[in-house]
């Protein structure tokens, strides 16, 4: 594949949720796998609802997921480009003024439905004379501007859905510019895709109905359109849609709950595909596994409970290099390798840090047994063979074996019923701490 240019274009009117992250990741992974460019483009032309705080929050959420854009753009800073496109469409006689109010349009649609006609715009504005328009504007009306669609069937090969088409004769001429001169989503999106050289538009299937209109705008302004891929939408366990306005399953709330970013990414990307949802050790691994051709056309049902188990499995895979920046300064690679297999969330590291280097309360089941075991501790240096040598000596001296041998020692050394292999923990605990914990049997 030629290095693609892709984009994620959220409106900064709320925090993104795992469904939005799915689209962002699809685009980012395609760019990462094929050496392309990923653009984060804020659709912030709705000045009443868009905020800088939400935009910053979206960037924070993407960074947590490991998604770093090559370019960040804001549509509110690109108005001149859209105005130039409007003039080009007007010159080509593809954009025309209409003056109906929303109430008038609603009444007209109801009449059409009552007559068994499709409720699409009837292009009445095209019949207005220059005098008609002057009279309406003298009454205080300001026009909105509609794209004059070519009533033909628009076809494209969707990279998820396959051969696709929409008969534009079944569509209303879309409004591209409101009465106040602001732009609806459709035009700025196309203009930016052209100006930024976007090669692949990868987005949710809720945008399929926009595609034919946008292809016609692409053709009018640039002569050709990018490739399109419309993926299935992530739904909750009951089949309901996700909303960023409710905060349900927002990336920020998932981050605060302690789940791993890679677990969120794997669930977001692999759910609703022919690939098994599984833990991955890096986004590069996920990028190699991801294929648009594997995405199903059925809804992608997401179970939040899956994130908990996948978080643990993800932690078990991560190397020391992958987590070093998140660990405390004294945490060594040997420590991480010893404890990672027993973590359910990263916060559990604190428990095992205390076990290895802190002051814990040993649990003593048999004081005499622990005292005798302490007397058999070999001199340091210790390594992963020390545990077997020591417990072998304790077994020979006491006759204890199996659980009767290992369980009292685990309780005394760690204060925990279960945990990492003591062959790995014991050298980290060290002889002095081990003697102290076993020696408390005499208190």
Q: Distance between CA 74 and CA 55 in Å, rounded?
A: 9
At residue 235, the pLDDT reads 87
Cα angle 192, 198, 201 (rounded to 5 degrees) comes to 100
At residue 259, the pLDDT reads 97
Q: In this structure, how many other beta carbons lie within 10 angstroms of the beta carbon of residue 181?
A: 12
pLDDT tier for residue 64 given thresholds of 50, 70 and 90: very high
Q: Tokens 């980012």 correspond to what residue?
A: 28
- Backbone torsions φ then ψ of 442, nearest 5 degrees: -90, -10
At residue 440, the pLDDT reads 64
Nearest to residue 210, comparing CAs of 144, 143, 268, 156? 156
At residue 443, the pLDDT reads 39
| pLDDT tens digits along 261-318 | 999 999 999 999 999 999 999 999 999 999 999 999 988 998 888 999 999 999 999 9
Q: Domains along the chain?
A: 1-74+186-317 (3.40.50.620), 83-177 (3.90.800.10), 354-442 (1.10.10.350)
For 174-236, the DSSP string reads PEEE-TTS-B-THHHHHHHHHHTT--EEEEEGGGHHHHHHHHHHHHHHHS---EEEEEPPEE-
For 59-73, the DSSP string reads HHHHHHHT---SEEE
Residue 356 has pLDDT above 90, yes or no: yes
Q: Distance between CA 65 and CA 24 in Å, rounded?
A: 10
| pLDDT tens digits along 87-137 | 999 999 999 999 999 999 999 999 989 888 889 999 999 999 999 999 999
| pLDDT tens digits along 372-414 | 999 999 999 999 999 999 999 999 999 999 999 999 999 999 9
Q: What is the mean pLDDT of the chain?
A: 94
Give the mean model confidence (pLDDT) for residues 58-64. Answer: 98
Q: What token pair was written down for 256?
A: 């605060």
29, 283 in Cβ contact below 8 A?
A: yes
Query: Do the bridges between strand 144-147 and strand 95-98 make them parallel or antiparallel, or are there none, so unpaired?
Result: antiparallel
pTM, rounded to two decimals: 0.92
Q: What token pair was written down for 294?
A: 């594997």
| pLDDT tens digits along 212-265 | 999 999 999 999 999 999 999 998 777 777 765 556 689 999 999 999 999 999
| pLDDT tens digits along 146-204 | 999 999 999 999 999 999 999 999 999 999 999 999 999 999 999 999 999 999 999 99
Give the mean model confidence (pLDDT) for residues 354-367. Answer: 94
Residue 51 has pLDDT above 70, yes or no: yes
Residue 74 has pLDDT above 90, yes or no: yes
Alpha helix locations (H) across 48-205? 52-65, 79-91, 102-114, 130-138, 186-195
């Amino acid at each position: 594949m030629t290095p693609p240019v892709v984009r994620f274009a959220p409106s900064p009117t709320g925090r993104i949720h795992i469904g939005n992250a799915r689209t962002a990741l699809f685009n980012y992974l395609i760019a990462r796998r094929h050496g392309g460019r990923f653009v984060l483009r804020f659709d912030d032309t709705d000045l009443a609802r868009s905020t800088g705080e939400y935009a910053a929050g979206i960037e924070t959420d993407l960074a947590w997921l490991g998604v770093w854009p090559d370019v960040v753009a804001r549509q509110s800073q690109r108005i001149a480009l859209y105005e130039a496109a409007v003039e080009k469409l007007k010159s080509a006689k593809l954009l025309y003024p209409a003056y109906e109010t929303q109430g008038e349009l609603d009444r007209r649609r109801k009449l059409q439905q009552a007559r068994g006609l499709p409720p699409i715009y009837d292009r009445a504005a095209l019949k207005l004379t220059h005098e008609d328009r002057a009279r309406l504007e003298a009454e205080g009306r300001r026009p909105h501007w509609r794209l004059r669609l070519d009533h033909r069937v628009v076809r494209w090969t969707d990279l998820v859905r396959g051969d696709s088409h929409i008969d534009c004769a079944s569509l209303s001429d879309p409004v591209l510019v409101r009465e106040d001169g602001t732009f609806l989503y459709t035009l700025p999106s196309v203009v930016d895709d052209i100006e930024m050289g976007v090669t692949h538009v990868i987005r949710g299937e809720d945008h399929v109905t926009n595609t034919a209109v946008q292809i016609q705008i692409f053709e009018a302004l640039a002569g050709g359109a990018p490739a399109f891929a419309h993926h299935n939408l992530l739904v909750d366990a009951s089949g309901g849609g996700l909303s960023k306005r409710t905060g349900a399953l927002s990336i920020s709330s998932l981050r605060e709950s302690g789940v791993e970013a890679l677990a969120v990414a794997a669930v977001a990307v692999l759910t609703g595909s022919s690939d098994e949802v599984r833990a991955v050790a890096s986004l590069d691994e996920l990028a190699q596994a991801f294929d648009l051709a594997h995405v199903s056309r059925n809804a992608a049902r997401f179970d939040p409970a899956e994130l908990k188990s996948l978080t643990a499995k993800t932690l078990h895979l991560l190397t020391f290099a992958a987590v070093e920046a998140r660990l405390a300064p004294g945490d060594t690679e040997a420590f991480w390798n010893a404890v990672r297999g027993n973590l359910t969330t990263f916060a559990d590291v604190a428990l095992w840090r205390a076990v290895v280097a802190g002051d814990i309360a040993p649990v003593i089941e048999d004081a005499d047994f622990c005292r005798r075991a302490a007397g058999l501790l070999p001199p340091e240096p210790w390594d992963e063979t020390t545990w077997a040598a020591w417990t072998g000596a304790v077994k020979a001296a006491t006759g204890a074996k199996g659980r009767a041998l290992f369980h009292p020692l685990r309780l005394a050394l760690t204060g925990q019923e279960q945990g990492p292999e003591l062959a790995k923990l014991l050298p980290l605990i060290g002889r002095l701490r081990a003697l102290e914990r076993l020696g408390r049997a005499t208190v």
